[in-house]
Amino acid sequence: MSMTPAELAQYLSALITQSLPLSTMIWGPPGVGKSSVVAQVARQHGLEFVDVRLSQLAPTDLRGLPVAQANESGVGGVSRWYPPEFLPTSGRGVLFLDEVNMAPPTMQGMAQQLILDRKVGSYELPDGWFVWAAGNRKEDRASVFDMPAPLANRFLHLTVRPDFEAFRSYALNRGLHEHVLAFLTFRPEQLHRLDTAQPAWPSPRAWEMAARLHRAGLDVAPAIGEGAGSEFAAFVRLYEQLPDLETVLRGDSVSLRLPAEPSVRYAAVVGLAARAQNAQEGFHAFSWLADQASPEWLQLYVATLVSKFQAVGQLGELVGLMEREPKLAELIQGAVDMAEG
């Protein structure tokens, strides 16, 4: 079952709210956000989150170590298995087995009992804990082992794919540099482009690193590769052609014109939405664009603005704007419906 990161989050949330502790395997290309979505869902539901990298463990690391215990007479006795400290013993949460198919067959076999029976050795996973796992696929050229059929049959299987709308909301929530957001709005196909011949290539994870490099004034190519890096650098130079966006947001932009070149328009429209700090600034930008841009540019602006206000928990501020301008109300409602759908 293939889904976007947002749809994956909804599905995992439903497993929690419906109290369905079914072991779940999440497949997808590297850098698409599988681990981030799981951690986010756990936080949203107030659950503990334990991230276990099976590929970095030996069987005894999961099962524990045997420790001899003498009987009351001090003679003979038995050995007991002492489980590792990272396995939960109480509370409610998500036990996340990341890189599960990068673990060798012996390790996957050890995890099989934990996934099926919720126990391994003398350890038993408490009620209220979900067992979810993630891994890359063979076609992603990842160094993975075949998952044994008995283990695979114990999982629900979900596949997550890259999705720009989900990344846009994430980027706005995390405050990623607006240049990155504007570029990917203009060139969404560059969000994820696996290149197995190169060590660096674009992915949502790589773009987050690139945003940090760019904010520090450093070249982004080490994160996203030379091709995407060159395109991004050329796009950033277009920002020198932008009108004064702060003037637009203040409502003092009577003499300013929206640039005609499409890539610069993308930069201006997304930049306005990303920089709007409140509903009034958002309305000023909409009014300026409405006088100069066609409906598709207004739709892009409003969709980005709604994503931004949703991400920072201020969507309610836009309600007042909907009463001032019917066209804006229609676009806002459409963007909200699309985000919730």
What is the pLDDT at residue 143? 62
Q: Which of 85-89, 144-148, 203-207 has the lowest mean pLDDT?
A: 144-148
* 279, 321 Cβ separation under 8 angstroms: yes
Distance, CA of 130 to CA of 47 (rounded, Å): 10
Residue 13: band (very low, low, confident or very high) from pLDDT cuts 50, 70, 90: very high
Q: CA 326 to CA 337: how far, in whole Å?
A: 16
The string of pLDDT tens digits covering residues 92-108 is: 999 999 888 887 777 88
pLDDT in tens, 283-331: 888 888 888 888 889 888 888 888 888 777 777 777 666 667 677 777 7
| Predicted structure pTM score | 0.75
Q: How much helix, strand and coil, in percent to the nearest 5, is found in the chain?
A: 55, 15, 35
Task: Give 266-296 as a DSSP string.
Answer: HHHHHHHHHH--SHHHHHHHHHHHHTTS-HH
- Taking a C-beta distance cutoff of 8 angstroms, is the pair 115, 131 a contact? yes
pLDDT in tens, 121-171: 778 899 999 999 998 877 666 666 777 788 888 899 999 998 998 888 888
